[in-house]
Structures are given as C-alpha cells and as structure tokens.
C-alpha cells in the first residue's frame, strides 16, 4: 500500500530513490528544475552509470539550473504536454508529489507526497511508468543548448512544445 509522506520525508525518500537507482532515474515535472538538495545524489548516480531522464512541459531555465544540468553531465531531456503531477522514480520506488487544487489541504494535513512501491503497489506503479514511457515516445527531445540563447544567457519567456512534435508518425 502506498505511504503518505511529509515534506521532510519527501526529500529524504527522493535521495534514497536516487541512491538506489540502477539503470534509470526519471523526473517528471512541469518545470525544468533540478532539486537543489539532490544534486550530490544525482551526480553519484550518473557516475554509477544511471541514466537521468527528465520530462518537463515548460522550460524557462535559470542560469543556476543550466549550471546544475551541466554539472550533472548527460541527461535525456524531453519536452512534453503538461501533466498534473510531479514524480520521481527508479526501477523499484516512486515519489508522487501532487499539483492539484487540493494541495493546500494536503499541506495543512502534513501530506506532501506519496511513496509507491513497484511490488506492493504494482498496478499504480506500472500505470505511472507506462504513462511516462508514452510521454517520452511522443515528446520532443531537446538539448540544453536549445533552451539557451546563443550567448549562453537564459531565454526569456516560456517555451511551449509544438503540436506537431507530439503527433504519432
């Protein structure tokens, strides 16, 4: 059964999931943001050969996030249509952080996330994984340089995906 997580538990669990990743680590987030408190764990995962897969819908990248992505090295960046939830997962566990209208109520109740296990919560885990792979298949693969100005400065505004980039071929 899924486990509710407090804000502190989300941060701790996220680092644990990164540290336990073997082949892939996925981050699905509307914004192209790197969790500041997870940089060291993400670097160690990259050195172990873990592939970082980052899905986002709006890419207004700050200079700090650009530097963090450069520091992490190779990461697969996919721009996709907006999704209501943020989640991070490896092969065994997932943290889902809600972005819905009830978020304030959840925070007041001390709930910031949900831990989903690939064995105990097989159906739910597989649904999110399948949705993520479907989004990758339809997503536009982007590179860090595409999100920046030619002089390396941050592009202003929000970059939205082109509709034709998401149509099946």
pLDDT digits (tens, 9 = 90+) for 85-130: 789 999 999 999 865 544 544 555 566 888 999 999 999 899 999 9
| pLDDT tens-digit readout, 124-164 | 899 999 989 998 898 888 887 776 643 444 443 333 333 33
Could you tell me if residue 99 is inside a domain? yes
Q: 77 lies in which domain range? A: 3-149
Q: Is the pTM of this model over 0.75?
A: yes
Instruction: Choose among 81, 72, 99, 89: nearest CA to 129.
Output: 89
- Which CATH number do you get for residue 33? 3.30.870.10
Mark out the alpha helices in the chain (DSSP H runs). Answer: 7-20, 39-47, 63-72, 103-108, 122-138
Is residue 104 one of the residues assigned to a domain? yes
Quote the pLDDT of residue 119: 95
CB count in 10 Å sphere of residue 147: 20
- Is residue 62 situated within a structural domain? yes
Tokens of 126: 């597989």
Q: What is the domain count for the chain?
A: 1
Nearest to 75 by CA among 61, 86, 85: 61
Q: Is residue 163 part of a domain?
A: no
């Amino acid at each position: 059964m899924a486990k509710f997580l407090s804000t502190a538990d989300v941060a701790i669990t996220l680092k644990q999931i990164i540290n336990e990743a073997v082949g892939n680590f996925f981050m699905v987030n509307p914004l192209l943001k790197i969790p500041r408190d997870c940089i060291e764990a993400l670097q160690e995962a990259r050195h172990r050969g873990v592939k970082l897969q980052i899905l986002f819908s709006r890419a207004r990248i700050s200079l700090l996030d650009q530097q963090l992505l450069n520091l992490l090295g190779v990461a697969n960046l996919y721009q996709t249509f907006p999704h209501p939830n943020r989640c991070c997962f490896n092969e065994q566990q997932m943290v889902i952080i809600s972005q819905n209208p009830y978020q304030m109520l959840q925070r007041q109740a001390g709930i910031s996330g949900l831990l989903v296990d690939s064995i105990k919560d097989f159906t739910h885990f597989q649904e999110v994984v399948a949705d993520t792979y479907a989004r990758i298949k339809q997503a536009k693969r982007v590179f860090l340089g595409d999100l920046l100005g030619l002089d390396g400065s941050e592009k202003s505004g929000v970059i939205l995906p082109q509709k034709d980039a998401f149509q099946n071929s």
